[in-house]
A and B are shown apart, each in its own frame.
Chain A
Amino acid sequence: MRFTRNRLAAVLVAAALCAPVVAAAQLKIGFMGELSGPQGPLGQDQYDALMLLIEQNGGRLGGVPVQVLREDSQLKPDVANQIVERLIDKERVPIITGVTFSNVMMAVHKKITEKGVFLIGSNAGPSPIAGAQCSPYFFSTSWENGQQAEVVGKYMSDKGFKRVMTIAPNYQSGKDTVGGFKRYYANAPIGELWPALNTQDFSAEIAQIAAAQPEAVFAFLPGGLGINFIKQWNQAGMRGKIPLMTSSTTDGIGLPAMGDAALGVISGTFWGPDLANPANQKFVRDFEARYKRIPSQYAAQSYDAAQLLDSALRKVGGKVDDKPAFMAALKAADFKSVRGSFRYNTNQFPIQDFHMFEAVKDGQGRMTLKTIATPLREDKDAYFDKCPMK
């Protein structure tokens, strides 16, 4: 007993002596995302993909040893604010990445960028920060919220659907997304359904769709909403009768829980696991080997954030204190994105292609996404000209 305690004390002393030395050599990076609760899997995929690249590089990004401080914002803007204050004032991190939800992004974006801390957003892209409130310290590796719906609107116009209904939860992101859809869809929808954000049972909405008999339906039902809707859509015998096109609904997080009920559902976004470029094939293979699951788009976005940091840190030799140089290095986006072509627009959101995907089964019987069309090439978001940066 005494021996154990002495040894423990020795270890503690050694750790206390070593810690400052290690910390001084390491670059601290804050990761903040939704890691608990129903939306936890999104943040977990972001975190896992970031750590994948760091692990592969032996704990380094751009040749610099990094220490990632993992923070759970719990989908609560006030919690996120406290985390950001601690990361910046106490931990003195020069870089924060992650941020899963738009309401959290809106709460922390100004606070982080005004202090001259770099924010690499790897999911949420609310329109104000792409437009009037854009910042030179913010870089997105995802999209502006409306874009994933715009591609579906374009696709449905291309397909010649005339009578279309939309369904989205009755809150700000729902309105923004349907707005994005309508920007690129040639006709006016014949009906718009706005269930409450906490809706579990969509039977009322599905019966209305069945009664109206549209040629196709556009759905934006993220997270658990989508799982409920897709299951109930299938049970009501609607799958295969009316084409269902979605955004942020049949994604890599929801598909395993939806199973066969999602087969044939079409969705639009910037990335899928089957995109045929070498960087993506390596990423998907490595992610599956490490975490035993197919990466979602949220993992892909975060892996690109890690690659972006890797490329920029290498360019400046780890000297993030030279902010203009590091900013220019980030803006150059000199890395092989898993989505293929990637370059920054003036508002520091990517200019990129958007594809359509069908939910299918892979060789092992798992649900995954297959690319079927690329309606938007080199697409820019609808707000960049409102951003004062040129």
Chain B
Amino acid sequence: MTAALVLTQVLNGLQLGVLLFLLAAGLTLVFGIMDFVNLAHGSLYMVGAYLAAATASATGSFLLGALVAVPGTMLIGIVVDRIALSGLYRRDHLDQVLATFGLVLFFNEAVRIVWGPSPLYFETPQWLSGTVELFGFGYAAYRLAIIVVGLAVAAFLAWLIHGTRVGMLIRAGASNAPIVSALGVDIRRLNMLIFGLGAGLAGLAGLMAGPIFSVQSGMGETILIQTLVVIIVGGIGSIRGAFLAALIVGVVDTLGRVFLPIWMARAMEPAIAQAAGPALASMLIYLLMAGVLAFRPAGLFPVRG
């Protein structure tokens, strides 16, 4: 267990964390402000990855892929919101879960019809494909780029939320949406803006994840579950909470998967450790969530209301 291994894993944890943050930011705002449970958020992430992979493969340019994927996903998100979801805002959560789960199935089949059943080819751009020497060990340049993009988005959102009038409305909406509406703010436009912003960020997450993960139908579900853990741990509706919780979840998951089996192998029979270690490690973030729910039900960094 060398220092280099620990450092690499911390970076890996941060990289997973910022990727989760890109998804959690949109999900937590939609949940917190619009009181809307959107299971199809992972599908937007998948659509972003498909748009990026298809464009990048056709043109050979990662940047063109980005230019199509992010606005394209935002547009698709807004259209879906207007057509299918806006009528459900006032319905109860079960109806929303049913409808957005239907959308998950719809999108999974839609990408199969458009792009075929096989996973899409999507490689890292040439200028990010190598490794970077950091503290004496090599780290994948593309993963560093994900961390940089994630932190830049976090800084942008911090400015948007705390430095602009729109951000003030978003904050107000998160703590008390009916009052904001009663004060004469066009909540409909605010909702559309929030939904579009969330969809765009999901598209960006899909774009960044495409070269490291398999671009295939159903890729959104796995990450959606982790994203839900993030917004519950962070406190629903809180961007700051989503950011910090995403980093915590990312680091806990990554470090747990590496070091828990090693520690357990020292403490108990190798056979038991080998069976229990990986199983416990993959449960770690859910145990974390259960702990947070037990002791801080509003999340670690709730919206001040």
Q: Is the CB of B9 within 8 A of A204?
A: yes
Does A201 have its Cβ within 8 Å of any Cβ on chain B? yes
Residues of A within 8 A of B112 (CB): 36, 40
List the B side residues contacting A203 at CB < 8 Å.
8-9, 12, 15-16, 143, 254
B214 and A227 within 8 A (CB)? yes
Please, how many angstroms separate the alpha-carbon atoms of A198 and B123 in the complex?
Answer: 21
Pairwise interchain contact B9-A196, C-beta atoms closer than 8 A: no
- Within the complex, the shortest CB–CB distance from A297 to chain B, in Å, comes to 15
Q: Does A379 contact B (CB under 8 A)?
A: no
CB of A46, distance to nearest CB on chain B (Å): 13
For the complex formed, measure the closest distance between the CB of B47 and the CB atoms of chain A, giving whole angstroms. 16
Residues of B within 8 A of A116 (CB): none
Answer yes or no: B119 CB below 8 A from chain A CBs: yes
Name which of A95-103, A229-237, A278-286, A317-325 contacts chain B.
Answer: A229-237
Residues of B within 8 A of A236 (CB): 131, 138, 140
Interface string of A175-217 (1 = CB under 8 A from B): 0000000000000000011111011110111011011000000
Interface stretch, picked from B62-70, B148-156, B182-190, B218-226, is B218-226
- Minimum CB–CB distance from B23 to chain A (whole Å) comes to 12
A211–B254 touching, CB < 8 Å:
no
- In the bound complex, residues from chain B placing their C-beta under 8 Å from that of A210 are 5, 8
Residues of chain B with a CB closer than 8 A to A193's CB: 278
Q: B160: which A residues are within 8 A, CB to CB? A: none
State whether B140 touches A192 (Cβ < 8 A).
Answer: no
What residues of chain A lie closer than 8 Å to B219, measured between beta carbons? 38, 200, 224
**A153-193 interface (Cβ within 8 A of B):** 170, 192-193
Asked whether, in the complex, the Cβ of A41 is within 8 Å of the Cβ of B117, the reply is yes
Q: Which of B2, B9, B140, B277 contacts A235 (CB under 8 A)?
A: B140
Q: Which residue of A lies closest to B283 (CB)?
A: A196
Q: How far apart are the CA atoms of A1 and B218 in the complex, in Å?
A: 44
Across-interface contacts of B108 in A (CB, < 8 A): 37
Known: A36-B112, A228-B214, A236-B131. A204 touches B257 (CB 8 A): yes
Which chain B residues lie closer than 8 Å to A227 at the CB level? 119, 213-214, 216
- Report B-chain residues with C-beta under 8 Å of the C-beta of A232: 140, 212
CA–CA, A164 and B255, complex, Å: 23
- B123 in complex: contacting residue of A40, A211, A261, CB < 8 Å: A261
Partner of B124, one of A207, A223, A235, A257: A235
Q: How far is the CB of A283 from chain B (nearest CB, A)?
A: 20
User: Contact: A256 with B121, CB < 8 Å?
Assistant: yes
Q: Render B248-265 as a binary contact track against A, CB cut-off 8 A, 1 for contact.
A: 000000110110010000
**Contact (Cβ within 8 A) B8 A257:** no
Q: Is the CB of A237 within 8 A of B130?
A: yes
User: Chain A interface secondary structure, helix, strand, loop or mixed?
Assistant: helix
A259 within 8 A of B: yes
Collect the chain A residues with CB atoms within 8 Å of residue B258's CB: 204-205, 207-208
Proximity string of chain B (96-137) to chain A, C-beta cutoff 8 Å, 1 when within and 0 when not: 000000000000110010000111111110000111000000
- Chain B interface size range: 35 or more
B254–A257 CB distance below 8 A: no
- Judge whether A260 is part of the interface by a CB distance below 8 angstroms: yes
| A198-B253 Cα distance, complex, nearest whole Å | 13
Q: Which residue from chain A places its CB closest to the CB of B225 in the assembled complex?
A: A198
Q: Mark A261-281, 1 if CB is under 8 A from B, else 0.
A: 100000000000000000000
How far is A218 from B4 in the complex, measured between Cα atoms in Å?
A: 24
Within 8 Å of chain B (Cβ to Cβ): is A62? no
Within 8 Å of chain B (Cβ to Cβ): is A371? no
B8 CB contact (under 8 Å) in A44, A207, A224, A225? A207
Cα(A379)–Cα(B2), bound, Å: 43
Distance between Cα atoms of A199 and B257 in the complex (Å): 11
Which of A's residues lie within 8 Å of B, judged by CB? Answer: 36-38, 40-41, 44, 170, 192-196, 198-201, 203-205, 207-208, 210-211, 223-225, 227-228, 231-232, 235-237, 253-254, 256-261
Given contacts A208-B5, A256-B121, 18 further A-B contacts (CB under 8 A): A36-B109, A36-B117, A37-B217, A38-B216, A194-B261, A199-B282, A201-B12, A224-B214, A224-B216, A224-B219, A228-B212, A228-B214, A231-B211, A231-B212, A235-B129, A253-B118, A257-B118, A259-B121
A sample of 12 inter-chain contacts (CB < 8 A) reads A36-B112, A170-B278, A199-B282, A200-B213, A201-B16, A204-B255, A223-B214, A227-B119, A231-B123, A236-B140, A257-B216, A259-B121
- Report the 9 A-B pairs with minimum CB-CB distance, sorted nearest first: A227-B214, A203-B12, A196-B282, A257-B119, A224-B214, A194-B278, A40-B117, A237-B131, A235-B140
Interface residues of B (CB under 8 A from A): 1-2, 4-5, 8-9, 12, 15-16, 108-109, 112, 117-124, 129-131, 138, 140, 142-143, 211-219, 222-223, 254-255, 257-258, 261, 274, 277-279, 282
